[in-house]
Amino acid sequence: MPGRLFLIQDAASIAAHFQVSVPDFYDPPRRNIAPGQEIIVLRQDRQLCRMRWGLIPVGRVNTRGRPIVETIINARSESVFEKSALRGVRRCIVPAGGWYEWTGKARKKIAWRISPRVGGLLAFAAICDVWTAPGGMIVQQVATVTCPPSADVRDVHDRMGVVINLKSVGIWLDGSQAEAAKLMQPLDAGLLNVEQLTDVDWAAP
């Protein structure tokens, strides 16, 4: 949707992929990135940074004027530009090697790993914001944007992250809302590899 990500490329490789400066932080390869953790994000200023995965919409209200209390991990493409809870957010990119989904009933769930068929990185469309926590701590936070699934994904989930073509990253970051909205579409069939994981695969560090 995505609910878990993986990213085994280092920061230098990610910087080269997007043709931006190498950041001054080290981020080790990670095979299981969960909401609430810090992830690498490409900002509008073309800098790579770390942000907390999950928007805490403190001070934001819904259409009825009531405070939004839930943390937003994924924002739906159909409403991301209309929701009052998301007014004023900026657009960004979340690089990832792919993501995981699960099917089946509790205690019998099957894990699936989804990644580019040709390898490399995916560029997930995302939105970001800054939250000032109690005590004055500044938290940069991010949520991925989702859309209906592609033909490759529909058997394992009814949503997928919006994947931005490398040539269109600039449009997502800097274009108008109308231009960005045109990018929020599922990938064409055949571009993703969906593989079932074994317990050994899933336990790998």
Nearest-angstrom CA–CA distance, 57 and 139: 12
The answer to which of 44-53, 77-86, 175-184 has the lowest mean pLDDT is 77-86
Q: How far is CA 12 from the centre of its chain?
A: 20
**β-strand partners of 155:** none
| CA–CA separation, 187 and 116 (whole Å) | 11
The domains found in the chain, sorted by start residue, are: 4-203 (3.90.1680.10)
Query: What pLDDT, on a 0 to 100 scale, did the predictor assign at position 200?
Result: 59
Give the tens place of pLDDT for each residue, 159-183: 999 999 999 999 999 999 999 999 9
CA distances from 203 to 14, 145, 199 (A): 25, 28, 6
Radius of gyration of the chain (CA): 17
